[in-house]
Structure 1
């Protein structure tokens, strides 16, 4: 078995053998994905996405990922809603779930940045 990453009409763009995952030799119980920004210690973090301080819930103003699809072991789509996990308040994520139309599963993200951490 292998774990595939597919991208739109491009098909499989990456894959990983199940042997490199200790707990995923069979099937997965959940799916994780995410993003991050980085700066050296004591330097304010950069903007993420469109850089809006608060999301507008609007794809013309916010950065987004669309057509996110999870397939089960029989290659059937599973419609799920994700749980956002943020470690700084300068960024935001909104999972709209399956909104239909060209977007399908839509996740909006962004933020002004400016967090100083260590």
Structure 2
């Protein structure tokens, strides 16, 4: 089934277009138009997926932070206590002397998962 194509014009900064052209070449698209169509389809799917928050959802929050930032660890702990009913697991890793990685796995009603994030 063929669909009628509509022609549009867009303006992009040179650096953005350059990166887009690299992706088009790497992915094997035959034209910018093909790449733009694919990008728009992905944008629509992502938007619809993010908008549909009914029912159970699973999410992962990943945070990289400087642990010396005053009050940050306390705030993260408080948030995790506030959402304890949907937090399945958390992982804390010391990346170096200053930086930490926190991974929190959530499972629950979609709106509550979004609120926690």
Q: Give the TM-score of the pair, scaled to structure 2.
A: 0.27
Q: Comparing both structures, which one devotes a greater share of its residues to helix?
A: 2
Q: Comparing both structures, which one devotes a greater share of its residues to strand?
A: 1
